[in-house]
Each structure stands twice: as C-alpha cells, then as structure tokens.
Amino acid sequence: MTTKNTKVGSVNDNKQVTIRNTGKRGNHRFEKVYQLGCSLCGCVYGANGADIFERKCPCCQNGKPGTPFISQIKIEVKPQKIPVV
Ligand SMILES: [Zn+2]
C-alpha cells in the first residue's frame, strides 16, 4: 500500500472506512486522529492517520481499542431529592 488511506471515504484492506479527520492530536506526535467506521459491523472509532491502512475493527476484528478523539466531558450528577408521597 502506498496511500495512507486518510482520504475521506477510502476503505482499507480490512474494510475500515475513513469517515473524517477529527483534527484532534493522536498518540503520534504529529498525527491527527481520524474517525473510522467498520463497514462490517458499524463500529465507529478513532485511529491515527498512519495506522489507518492496517487498522482492524476493535469490535469485530480484534483490533486494538480506538484512539480517543472526543474531549472528555465531565458530567456531574447531582442527587435529586425525590419528594415522598
Ligand atoms: Zn467491525
């Protein structure tokens, strides 16, 4: 393979489709995280641009877990007082 499969819509040998460039920085220093989708099971996950060509689905192909690309959102759950009837 000569291409890195970073083009949106490209499919690698493992049937993983490049959905978009998230613009987030991945594990690699200069690499952006791309959002990939598995065309076999529909799993959506993040992957470093350099890894796309050999990426395997973490859901159905035993690939490594997806690279997180969404900033962690802290959700605070406050216990609510439930009125006793
Ligand atoms: Zn899959």
The CA 18 to ligand 1 mean position distance, Å, reads 13
* Predicted pLDDT at 70: 58
* Predicted pLDDT at 81: 81
Does the pTM surpass 0.95? The reply is: no
pLDDT tens across 22-32, in order?
988 877 777 88
**Residue appearing with tokens 């890894």:** 51
Mean pLDDT of 50-59: 94
Strands (E), 1-85: 16-25, 32-38, 44-48
The CA 15 to ligand 1 mean position distance, Å, reads 9
Percentage above 90 pLDDT, the chain: 56
Mean pLDDT, the chain, rounded, equals 85
